[in-house]
């Protein structure tokens, strides 16, 4: 078990190094920030001075080396656009996205597990077909469109919630709902599929013939085994949430990591792009380690290897 998790951690660490290299050079490819931050009629001397101050006049490999050295001190450099430490910007934006993503995912898991498990009890029954169609359609909704339509219906027509911005609890409802739709649909499909498999297995038949109540068969015996694929998919969806968060934060004007990254890419704010991607990847990395632990806890076959 220990070697399994250690192996996974070593692999993830290698991926992190690859990611750091990738993001550094990709960001440099977007062009020289001097063109964006100085007026169009800036003199060549001014441009050279700007490049020199920000270390952009050095060869790329030297810049990369400096970046690595400062990175070891957890210094991600300063934002060109906002003239504040990049790490500080990213860390202030991160909680917003985390709360959005976690509430959406928690809600999605609960709804998907209950709906999927109930649907699996009677395959092809009315409830099963209903769950199937609803989950398929919510997995097929483009999130930016769902965001616009929900703003139109709930904010413009019904006036139940504000259209965008932050502040009160009501501001969070629409963004969370929009982020919730797709993972919930996908997860419900997965839960249903793996529950149907689990319910037709031998140990469930044994439990039935022993006279165990059907509710505890479904939610204790079968669900625990059906959770393994669900956890895998939920983990994938969680990293996919960053994509959803970009769109949702841009539409709802939420000051999260997605909006920060969008703005930074447009303004060639290298320090913030690098810091944002690395912190996000570190969070995803941490989550994958947690998922591995959950796997080991749930699956004796890995635990006793």
Partner 1 sequence: MENVTSTTVPVRKTERTSLRQSLDLLWRDKFAVAAVLFLIIVVLAALLGPYLFGQQSNRINLLTRNAAPSFAHGWAFVLGADALGRPILLRLFVGAQNTIILAVSAVILSMIVGTALGFVAGYRNDWLGNVILRVADVLMSFPSLLLALIVLYVLTPGIANVILVLAITRVPIYLRTARAEVLEVRERTFVTAADIMGASTWRLVWRHIRPAVMPTLVTIATLEIAFVMLAESSLSFLGLGIQAPQFTWGAMVAQGQSYLGTAWWVAFWPGVAITLTAMSLNLLANWVRLVSDPVQRWRLEAKEPSHD
Q: What's phi and psi for 78, nearest 5 deg?
A: -105, 150
Q: Tell whether residue 285 is a contact of partner 1 (CB under 8 A).
A: yes
Q: Min. distance of Cβ 292 from partner 1 in angstroms?
A: 14
C-alpha span between 291 and 197 (Å, rounded): 22
Which one of 55-63, 206-214, 215-223, 265-273 is the stretch in contact with partner 1 (CB under 8 A)?
265-273
Adjacent-strand bridge partners of 78? 85
**One of 256, 280, 295, 296 touching partner 1 (CB under 8 A):** 280
CB 194 within 8 Å of CB 264:
no
**One of 68, 110, 130, 149 touching partner 1 (CB under 8 A):** 149
C-alpha span between 36 and 263 (Å, rounded): 13
Adjacent-strand bridge partners of 85? 78
CB atoms closer than 10 angstroms to residue 241: 25
**One of 4, 5, 9, 12 touching partner 1 (CB under 8 A):** 12
Q: Tell whether residue 37 is a contact of partner 1 (CB under 8 A).
A: no
Q: Please, which of residues 224-253 interact with partner 1 by CB under 8 A?
A: 239-240, 242-243, 246-247, 250
Which one of 68-76, 85-93, 134-142, 209-217 is the stretch in contact with partner 1 (CB under 8 A)?
134-142
Q: Please, which of residues 179-208 interact with partner 1 by CB under 8 A?
A: none
Q: Tell whether residue 26 is a contact of partner 1 (CB under 8 A).
A: yes
Give the residue from 88, 79, 90, 92 showing the smallest Cα distance to 270.
Answer: 79
Which one of 54-62, 75-83, 148-156, 222-230 is the stretch in contact with partner 1 (CB under 8 A)?
148-156
Give the residue from 230, 273, 289, 208 showing the smallest Cα distance to 31.
Answer: 273
Q: Tell whether residue 212 is a contact of partner 1 (CB under 8 A).
A: no
SS3 38: coil
Distances (CA, A) of 116 to 184, 208, 216, 276: 10, 20, 16, 35
Q: Tell whether residue 22 is a contact of partner 1 (CB under 8 A).
A: yes
Distances (CA, A) of 77 to 63, 84, 88, 281, 305: 12, 9, 10, 18, 45
Which one of 63-71, 102-110, 136-144, 205-213 is the stretch in contact with partner 1 (CB under 8 A)?
136-144
CB 183 within 8 Å of CB 234:
yes
Distance of CA 74 to the CA centre of its chain: 23
**One of 87, 204, 226, 261 touching partner 1 (CB under 8 A):** 261
C-alpha span between 284 and 282 (Å, rounded): 5
C-alpha span between 187 and 204 (Å, rounded): 22
Q: Tell whether residue 79 is a contact of partner 1 (CB under 8 A).
A: no
* Residue with Cβ nearer partner 1 (48 or 152): 152
Q: Tell whether residue 63 is a contact of partner 1 (CB under 8 A).
A: no
Number of residues that bind partner 1 (CB under 8 A): 49
Q: Min. distance of Cβ 162 from partner 1 in angstroms?
A: 14
SS3 85: strand
Q: Interface residues with partner 1 (CB under 8 A)?
A: 11-12, 14-16, 18-19, 22-23, 26-27, 29-31, 123-124, 133, 136-137, 139-146, 148-149, 151-152, 156, 239-240, 242-243, 246-247, 250, 261-262, 265-266, 273, 277, 280-281, 284-285
């Amino acid at each position: 078990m220990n070697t399994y998790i250690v192996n996974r951690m070593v692999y993830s660490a290698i991926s992190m190094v690859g990611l750091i290299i990738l993001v550094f050079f990709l960001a440099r490819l977007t062009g020289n920030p001097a063109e964006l931050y100085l007026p169009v009629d800036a003199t060549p001397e001014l441009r050279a001075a700007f490049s020199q101050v920000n270390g952009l006049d050095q060869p790329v490999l030297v810049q990369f080396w400096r970046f690595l050295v400062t990175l070891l001190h957890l210094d991600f450099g300063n934002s060109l656009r906002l003239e504040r430490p990049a790490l500080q910007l990213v860390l202030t934006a991160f909680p917003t996205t985390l709360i959005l993503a976690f509430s959406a995912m928690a809600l999605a898991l609960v709804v998907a597990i209950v709906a999927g498990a109930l649907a699996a009890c009677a395959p092809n029954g009315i409830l099963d077909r209903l769950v199937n169609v609803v989950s398929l359609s919510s997995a097929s909704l483009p999130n930016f469109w769902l965001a616009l339509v929900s703003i139109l219906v709930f904010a413009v027509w019904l006036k139940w919630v504000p259209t965008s911005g932050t502040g009160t609890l009501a501001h969070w409802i629409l963004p969370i709902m929009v982020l919730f739709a797709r993972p919930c649909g996908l997860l419900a499909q997965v839960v249903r599929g793996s529950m149907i498999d689990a319910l037709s297995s031998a140990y469930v038949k044994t439990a039935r013939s022993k006279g165990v109540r059907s509710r505890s068969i479904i939610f204790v015996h079968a669900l625990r085994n059906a959770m393994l694929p669900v956890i895998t998919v939920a983990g994938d969806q969680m990293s996919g949430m960053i994509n959803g968060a970009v769109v949702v934060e841009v539409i709802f004007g939420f000051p999260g990591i997605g909006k920060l990254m969008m703005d930074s890419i447009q303004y060639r704010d290298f320090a913030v792009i690098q810091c944002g991607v690395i912190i996000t990847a570190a969070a995803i990395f941490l989550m994958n380690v947690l998922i591995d632990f959950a796997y080991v806890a749930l699956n004796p076959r890995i635990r006793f290897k």
